[in-house]
Structure 1
């Protein structure tokens, strides 16, 4: 069996990492898997990059322009939503033609448009679509937070400046997705029970097949190692209890670092003696900004890395990992 996994990126972001790990797991278990991406970051021969060109950048910019216009020319949530109005037709590529199964992953920001996806579905090949956030089952957002309109019909979108309207951008994209899915034969996969439940509640998924399958992990790589050596590698104190918080972008409010700060404040108030024993490790882009937050414990910022052997070392250096996310699918960390 030949499986083609499709993702915007090979290694940037949790969805890309999960897709890449799945490809490796399939190849290690007798399935011939390849990954088609717009942005390739390694020399992995199983990963195929779309033909490079300035057109990819223009597609991304054009999508932002349409969103910007819908936002009354405000930057409000400009990069928090996607509408899939631009993309690349991949159905004529040899990798697509030879595949027995097409496996979609995170395909936003100009990788595939809704029209491109429609053409993939029309090819007659079996399609699996792994959802790495809520975008597949909402109008335009990746995380709906308190909004539940996607359960019936998206409109008056809180992501649009001024609260949108009855037939705003979210409504129009919702209708396009509804039309797309109506005749589609797709198996949708959520990486968590929470996302499975959310997807099944969406009006877009009425009558659709939705399953929950956790992301794979390389258990021969992610395993215990020498903690002392790991702490020396990252210049972390040998005798402290270390708590790790990690995120692609530390300042992303959805990842909940403010709640971690508050939890630590409460802990320090109730047990002031812990100020001498507990310290915080923050991993990710803009981690240095965490030193300005009101943590009651000393903070050790570490830069973002997408190298798995480095992540293994960081995990082995700490005593506890905390995920205070407000909404999340199944973070690879």
Structure 2
């Protein structure tokens, strides 16, 4: 079986990391899988890059310009929505022709247009589409922010100036997607049960296949190591309890760092000794400006993509905290748990699917900084820490290992192939 996975980037972003890991997982399970990207960053022989042409950059710029125009020339929400009005035609590529199944991943920002997807569907090849966010099931947004219009029809979009209208940009894109989906047999895969449930409620995906399969992780690579040695390697204090927060951009409001800052300030007030025995490690772009006023010591680290460094960092800390306001199934929590680090996060999205409350971490009430603080203190100073760490590793090995996830995807590929044969 030959699988072509299509993703905008090879490494940038959680979806890219997940797609690259899935390629490795499938190949390790006897499936010939390749990754096709617009932005290649390694020399991995299993990765192909779209041919560079004069129009390669234009695809991205044209879509942004279209959105900019509909936003009345403001940058607010410029990268919060995608309309997929420009993208590459991959159906003539050798990688496409050789593939038995076309597996779409995160294909926004000029990688594929809706017309590109239509050509893929019309090619006759089975199509599987992994949903890393809600965009495939809505018109233009990646985060619904509480909006339920996608359950009927997208309109009056809150991302558009003035809240949109009954026939706004979202409605136009909705109808384009609907025409494509109605004539397709796409098998949609959500990375979390939460997202799968959301997707099934979309009128766009009615009567289409939707299932949930988590992202994979190599548990041979992401594994527990000596904390003191890793702290020394990362130049971190080995005599403090270290709390880690990580995001590609620390100032991203959706990652909820403001709630972590508030929680840490509460902890410093309630437990003054934490000012001496605890520190917050902030990994991500603009980490310095994100924690300007914090009662606990702060150690900012620029975002790193080197796997060995990332593993050393996870193993150097004692708790990983991700107070995101919206999440699918975050790779970072999975990575930390695989390294034996208990995690704390809000009860939102797929986070409670990863963290088993008070078993391998702590699930705090949504947007509740006080409960977040309670969870951090419980993990660091009250719970049986070694037991938490052991259970975290077991959870990942049982649910997210390469082999476990690859076998689930192989089953979906076989279903898509069988369904296509029945339709011929």
Partner SS, residue 224 of structure 1: coil
Residues 85-140 of structure 1: CA deviation (Å, up to 9, x unaligned):
00011011110001011110000000000010011011111111001111111111
Partner SS, residue 272 of structure 1: coil
Q: Which residue of 2 aligns with 1:286?
A: 286
8 Å Cα contact 2:261-2:291 kept in structure 1: no
Residues 141-171 of structure 1: CA deviation (Å, up to 9, x unaligned):
1111121111111111111122111111111
8 Å Cα contact 1:76-1:160 kept in structure 2: no
Partner SS, residue 322 of structure 1: strand
> Would you identify which runs of 4 or more consecutive aligned residues in structure 1 move more than 4 Å?
none
Q: Which residue of 2 aligns with 1:56?
A: 56
1:22 aligns to 2:22 (yes or no): yes
Q: Which residue of 2 aligns with 1:295?
A: 294
Residues 160-202 of structure 1: CA deviation (Å, up to 9, x unaligned):
1221111111111111111111111011001111111111111
8 Å Cα contact 1:59-1:110 kept in structure 2: yes
For 2:74 and 2:192, locate their aligned partners in 1 and report how far apart those are by CA, in whole Å: 34
Q: Which residue of 2 aligns with 1:129?
A: 129
Match runs of 1:19-168 below 5 Å: 19-168=19-168
Partner SS, residue 279 of structure 1: strand
8 Å Cα contact 1:248-1:284 kept in structure 2: yes
Q: Shift of the alpha carbon at 1:270?
A: 2.3
For 1:2 and 1:33, locate their aligned partners in 2 and report how far apart those are by CA, in whole Å: 6
Q: Shift of the alpha carbon at 1:273?
A: 2.3
Q: Shift of the alpha carbon at 1:288?
A: 2.1
For 2:54 and 2:222, locate their aligned partners in 1 and report how far apart those are by CA, in whole Å: 38
Q: Which residue of 1 aligns with 2:270?
A: 270
For 2:160 and 2:284, locate their aligned partners in 1 and report how far apart those are by CA, in whole Å: 28
Q: Shift of the alpha carbon at 1:80?
A: 1.1
For 1:187 and 1:247, locate their aligned partners in 2 and report how far apart those are by CA, in whole Å: 30
Q: Which of the two has greater helix per residue?
A: 2
1:254 aligns to 2:254 (yes or no): yes
TM-score where L is the length of structure 1? 0.97
For 2:29 and 2:141, locate their aligned partners in 1 and report how far apart those are by CA, in whole Å: 35
Structure 1 gap segments, 5+ residues each: none
Q: Which residue of 2 aligns with 1:306?
A: 305
Q: Which residue of 2 aligns with 1:328?
A: 327
1:196 aligns to 2:196 (yes or no): yes
Q: Shift of the alpha carbon at 1:272?
A: 2.3
Judge which range, 123-132 or 281-290, deviates more.
281-290
For 1:130 and 1:283, locate their aligned partners in 2 and report how far apart those are by CA, in whole Å: 27
Q: Shift of the alpha carbon at 1:258?
A: 0.9
Residues 29-88 of structure 1: CA deviation (Å, up to 9, x unaligned):
100011100000000011000112341211111101111111112212111110000001
Q: In angstroms, what is the RMSD of aligned CA positions? A: 1.1
8 Å Cα contact 1:91-1:119 kept in structure 2: yes
For 2:193 and 2:110, locate their aligned partners in 1 and report how far apart those are by CA, in whole Å: 28
Aligned residues: 332
